[in-house]
Amino acid sequence: MSMLEVAGLGHAYGGVDAVSDVSFVVEPGELVCIVGPSGCGKSTLLRCIAGLLPPTRGTVSLHGDRVVGVPSDLAVVFQDYSRSLLPWRTVAGNVEFPLRDRGLSTVERRSRVEEALSWVGLSEAAGKHPFELSGGMQQRVSIARALAYRPALMLMDEPFASVDAQTRADLEDLVLTVRASAGMTVLLVTHDIDESVYLADRVLVLSQSPATVVETLKVDLSSPRDQITTRGTDTFVRLRTEIARQIRR
Ligand SMILES: Nc1ncnc2c1ncn2[C@@H]1O[C@H](COP(=O)(O)OP(=O)(O)OP(=O)(O)O)[C@@H](O)[C@H]1O
């Protein structure tokens, strides 16, 4: 059974279509990137998949169950980390917070927090508050929070758009590493073509608004990937050129 199935999904704001007719599946363990031009409806699509916005048409199913409202085994990492962390809680307190609804013992919660913070390299910052951290570190806390939750599916909406280029590269590699260790299924939305090719097993290319899927590309790059050598391969250049052509079409 597919992890995620989106079938004929559409969403309109006040009668104006933002997402037109989107269908695709994500298999367990896959990392799929959705890339599309600015304003094409990427965030709207992701919000519908997360159950935060009811679709106007079509359906979303998570491991076979129709999504109506936010599913309990789904985590979302947003672009705006500063608004998604609780400023009065410590780093460990932020990561632990959603686990309270998981029915876990205190010992299990603590062990998951420690493991997730070590995955993102923030064990030493467990007792600090978000305002004491850099932007990249705050986003790592958001990722750790999602990982500790161990969702069936992790949704990421432009997760690295608000950090500098070096931090962005580091966070991309972090997602690849923890995804491999945790065996997670990830659906990541980005407007950055290179980022989509670097991270994904498959890339879905969206049209201009209202969004439809115009192309699905399998990324046949070997793993582990490397910021310098992978981006210099013929396959990488061919895929990014193909996606750019589709987006400008
Ligand atoms: N709450 C809303 N009410 C009305 N229209 C909206 C709302 N949110 C988004 N839109 C419109 O829907 C369209 C798609 O917006 P959306 O934010 O989903 O696109 P996006 O691809 O994520 O954009 P960007 O790349 O700039 O982040 C845009 O025309 C936008 O103005």
Judge contact between 160 and 78, C-beta under 8 A: no
User: What pLDDT, on the 0 to 100 scale, is given for residue 249?
Assistant: 77
The pTM score is: 0.94
Residues 5 and 60: their CA atoms lie apart, in Å, by 6
Strands 57-62 and 211-218: unpaired
User: What pLDDT, on the 0 to 100 scale, is given for residue 6?
Assistant: 98
Q: With respect to residue 72, please indicate whether it lies within any of the assigned structural domains.
A: no
> From residue 132, how far is each of 91, 129, 136, 138, 213 by CA, in Å?
10, 6, 12, 9, 41
Assign residue 30 a region (left: φ > 0; alpha: ψ between -120 and 50; beta: otherwise): beta
**For residue 98, what are the domain limits?**
82-150
Q: With respect to residue 99, please indicate whether it lies within any of the assigned structural domains.
A: yes
49 CA from centroid of ligand 1 (Å): 15
For ligand 1, atom 12: residue with the closest CA: 18
Residue 46 three-state SS: helix
User: What pLDDT, on the 0 to 100 scale, is given for residue 179?
Assistant: 85
Helices (H), ranges, 70-207: 81-84, 91-96, 106-119, 135-149, 165-182, 193-199
Calculate the CA 18 to chain-centre distance.
20
User: What pLDDT, on the 0 to 100 scale, is given for residue 183?
Assistant: 84
The list of the chain residues with pLDDT below 70 reads none
From 11, 13, 19, the mutation candidate for ligand 1 (largest count of ligand atoms within 8 A of CB) is 13
Please report the ipTM that was assigned to this predicted complex.
0.96
CB of 39 closer than 6 angstroms to any ligand 1 atom = yes
CB of 80 closer than 6 angstroms to any ligand 1 atom = no
Which two tokens mark 232? 């210099």
Which H/E stretch holds residue 242? helix 234-248
User: What pLDDT, on the 0 to 100 scale, is given for residue 236?
Assistant: 98
For ligand 1, atom 16: residue with the closest CA: 41
128 CA from centroid of ligand 1 (Å): 35
Q: With respect to residue 115, please indicate whether it lies within any of the assigned structural domains.
A: yes
CB of 191 closer than 6 angstroms to any ligand 1 atom = yes
15-46 pLDDT, tens digit each: 999 999 999 999 999 999 999 998 999 999 99
Q: With respect to residue 141, please indicate whether it lies within any of the assigned structural domains.
A: yes
Q: With respect to residue 225, please indicate whether it lies within any of the assigned structural domains.
A: no
Whether omega before 224 lies within 30 degrees of 0, making that bond cis, reads yes
Judge contact between 205 and 35, C-beta under 8 A: yes
193 CA from centroid of ligand 1 (Å): 19
Q: With respect to residue 139, please indicate whether it lies within any of the assigned structural domains.
A: yes
13 CA from centroid of ligand 1 (Å): 9
Phi, psi of 5 (to 5 degrees): -130, 120
For ligand 1, atom 18: residue with the closest CA: 41
Judge contact between 208 and 244, C-beta under 8 A: no
Give the CA diameter of the chain. 54
Residues 109 and 170: their CA atoms lie apart, in Å, by 27
Residue 36 three-state SS: coil
Residues 232 and 242: their CA atoms lie apart, in Å, by 16
Instruction: Give the total number of structural domains in the chain.
Output: 1
CB of 222 closer than 6 angstroms to any ligand 1 atom = no
User: What pLDDT, on the 0 to 100 scale, is given for residue 167?
Assistant: 86
Residues 101 and 92: their CA atoms lie apart, in Å, by 16
CB of 210 closer than 6 angstroms to any ligand 1 atom = no
Which two tokens mark 102? 């998981």
Q: Given the CA of residue 189, which atom of ligand 1 is nearest to it?
A: 22
Phi, psi of 160 (to 5 degrees): -115, 15
Q: Given the CA of residue 40, which atom of ligand 1 is nearest to it?
A: 21
Q: With respect to residue 116, please indicate whether it lies within any of the assigned structural domains.
A: yes
CB of 42 closer than 6 angstroms to any ligand 1 atom = yes
Q: With respect to residue 137, please indicate whether it lies within any of the assigned structural domains.
A: yes
